[in-house]
Amino acid sequence: MGRGENMGHLTQPGLRQKTQQEPLDVDPLFIRFLRTFKEILKFVLFSYTVLFGALLLARWTTYFMEDETRYKSIKQVGFGDGGKPTHIVEGLRASRVNTSWCPPRRALKLPAPFRHCSSSVRTTQPTRASAAPAQGPSPLQRSPLSESLAMAGAGGGNSDVQWCFSQVKGAIDDDVAEADIISTVEFNHSGELLATGDKGGRVVIFQQEPESKNQPQCRGEYNVYSTFQSHEPEFDYLKSLEIEEKINKIRWLPQKNAAQFLLSTNDKTIKLWKISERDKRPEGYNLKEEDGRYRDPNTVTTLRVPVLRPMDLMVEASPRRVFANAHTYHINSISVNSDCETYLSADDLRINLWHLEINDRSFNIVDIKPANMEELTEVITAAEFHPNQCNTFVYSSSKGTIRLCDMRASALCDQHTKLFEEPEDPNNRSFFSEIISSISDVKFSHSGRYLMTRDYLSVKIWDLNMESRPVETYQVHEYLRSKLCSLYENDCIFDKFECCWNGNDSVVMTGSYNNFFRMFDRGYRQDVTLEASRENSKPRSVLKPRKVSTGGKRKKDEISVDSLDFNKKILHTAWHPLDNIIAVATTNNLYIFQEKLN
C-alpha cells in the first residue's frame, strides 16, 4: 500500500485538517488598549469584592448584635468568666455536648404513657371552660384590706393608711454580705410559719407568736423558729462549673401531722426537709448509766423500763429526700401538686415530674430544647401546678407566653392545651420589647380561676377561659419606660420580680425599686405604693403612700424618678393566706407589715 493510500483518510471530506497558521499583523495600540481594559476590569472586580465583603460584615455584625440582645433578654446567667454575666443561650450553646446522663427523650419505650430518664415525665390538660363571669369582691363583703386601699387611694395622700409596720429582720449594716441577701420568701398553708432562703444556702423559719393570735394588734409578730444550712456550694467537674448554694425557691407541703415538710432548691439539687419539735428525751437505759458510761452486761441483774423525761423544746430540721442529677440547666421553679404526692421542677428548657417518695427517678413532661441549639428562641421562666386540679399546670416563657398543659390529654406535654398570649402593640415596639415582655413569675389564684403573671413593667391577670388577652393589666412602674436604656446598661432590666395574691384573690402585690411595693385592689380598681424602710420601723407606725414624679414641678411628698435607687429593690414578696399580713424582702432585710385594726 502506497503512502498516498495510507494518508488518504486525512483528506476525506468532512474531517478537520490541520493547517499551518500565519502570524497576525495586530496594531500595538490595540494590544495596549486590551491590557488597559484588563487592568480596569480587575480593579472593578476587586472593588466590588471589597464592597460586598463590607456589606456582609455589616450585616453579620448587626445580626449578632440583635442575636446577643435577644439572648440577653431571654435570661442572664453566669458561667464563670470572671464575674462577667453571660447569656443563657450562649451557655446552652457552649454546653452543646450532651453531658446529661438521660437517654434521648423518645428512645425509651415504656409500657405506660410516661417517658422517664433517670429524671423526667410528661403531661398536659385541656381545662373545660366555665361560663361563670369574672367578678370582683362584693361591696357587701368588703374586706378590711379594700377599706385600707380605698382610704389610701391611688397614691392618695390620706394620712389614715391602714397598713402599719410590725417587724424587720436582718442586720442594719450598710455593707451587706452577698451570702445574706434574701432570695425567696414563703408562708406555709396556715400562715403560722414563714420561711426565707438566702444566697448563702441557709433557710430561716419564723413562727408566729402564739400569744399574738389573741392580740390582733400584735398578730404580725414572728420570731425565729429554726435555722439550718440547706445547700452547700458544689462543683461540677464534668462541666467545670461552680454550683452556687443560693436557695432559688422554697415550697411548703400541706401539714399532715405534727411535723412540717418543705422543699428547697438551688440551681441543681432539690431537698425535702422535715421540721419537727422534740421536748422529751428517753432515760433509764439498761446498759447506760446516768452519766453516760456504759455498764458491763455481766453486772446487769435487773431490767429497767426506759421513760421519757421533759426537756427544753428543740426544733430539728432533717433532710428526708435529696432529688439530684435530673436537671442539666438551672432550676427556676418548684411547685407541689394538689395530690400531695408529686411535684414539678422546671429549669430553662425542661420540666420534670417527681414523686415525693422516689428520689432516683423523675419523668420529663416538657422539653423545649431544639435539636439545634442555634434555633433556641425562648426559655422557661416559671411553672406552677393548679391549686385544685392535679392534672393541670402552667409554665411561662421569656417570650411573654403562658402555656397551660393537661396531663390527662398527653403524658408528654410539649404540645400545650391552651396558649395565653397578648398581641403586641406595634406602636410600643422598641429595642427592649422582647426583654421587658419576659415573664418572671406566674401564680394561680387560690380559686384556680385566674392566672397572674409579672413582666418587667406590669402585672397581668388572665382568665383561664380567655386566651387572647388578659382581663386586667396593672402598670407597676410605667415611669421607668423612659429609663430602659440606663436600666439595660446596669443590667437592672433583667431583674426578676415576683408577685402574690391575698387570701381571697381580691388584691395582688408585687415589688419595685427604691424599696417600693405596689398593691392593686381588683374589685375597686385602686392601687397604692408603699415603702419598706427603717425610717418607718417604729412599732405599729402607719405607712404613708408614696408617689413618683415623672417630670415637671414635684410636690413635697413626691420623689423624682431620677432619685430612685435601683440597688434597693423588692423582688420577693409573700402574703399570709388567711390574714392581712405581708412579708417583703429588701436585700438582707425581711419586713413584716400588718393591716392596722381600729
Per residue in 154-184, pLDDT (tens digit) is: 333 333 448 999 999 988 877 889 999 999 9
Q: Which of 46-50, 160-164, 194-198, 239-243 has the lowest mean pLDDT?
A: 160-164
Q: Indicate the pLDDT class of residue 108, thresholds 50, 70 and 90.
A: very low
Q: Find the mean pLDDT for residues 589-594.
A: 94
What does the DSSP assignment read for 407-438? TTTBSSTTS-SEEE-PPPPGGG--TTHHHHT-
Summarised one tens digit per residue, pLDDT across range 409-429 is 998 999 999 999 998 888 878
CA atoms 216, 516, 519, 73: torsion sign: negative
Question: What does the pLDDT read at residue 203?
Answer: 97
Q: Which of 311-315, 379-383, 438-442, 466-470 has the lowest mean pLDDT?
A: 311-315
Q: Strand locations in 244-375, DSSP E?
A: 249-252, 260-265, 270-283, 307-323, 333-336, 342-346, 350-355, 358-367
Question: What does the pLDDT read at residue 115?
Answer: 38
Element (H, E) at 554: none
Three cell numbers at 102?
A: 438521660
Q: Which of 65-69, 93-97, 375-379, 488-492 has the lowest mean pLDDT?
A: 93-97
For residues 120 and 404, the answer to whether their CB atoms sit within 8 Å is no
- What's at 307, amino acid-wise? V
Which residue reads 393570735 in cell numbers? 213
Question: What does the pLDDT read at residue 61?
Answer: 67
Question: What does the pLDDT read at residue 387?
Answer: 96
Rounded alpha-carbon distances, angstroms, from residue 106 to 116, 195, 363: 9, 39, 12
- The answer, yes or no, to whether residue 560 has pLDDT greater than 80, is yes
Burial (0-12, 13-18, 19+ Cβ within 10 Å), 448 = middle
Question: What does the pLDDT read at residue 201?
Answer: 96
Distance, in Å, from the CA atom of 346 to the CA atom of 380, rounded to the nearest integer, reads 7
Three cell numbers at 554?
A: 414635684
Of 156, 160, 202, 194, the closest CA to residue 178 belongs to: 202
Mean model confidence pLDDT for the chain = 80
Sequence-separated (6 or more) residues with CB below 8 Å from residue 299: none
- The answer, yes or no, to whether residue 66 has pLDDT greater than 60, is no
- Beta strands 380-385 and 392-397: pairing type? antiparallel
Query: What is the pTM for the complete model shown?
Result: 0.72
Of 215, 189, 195, the closest CA to residue 207 belongs to: 195
For residues 561 and 513, the answer to whether their CB atoms sit within 8 Å is no
CB atoms within 10 A of CB 66: 12
Structure letter (DSSP) for residue 92:
H
For residues 112 and 479, the answer to whether their CB atoms sit within 8 Å is no
- What's at 490, amino acid-wise? N
Sequence-separated (6 or more) residues with CB below 8 Å from residue 483: 561
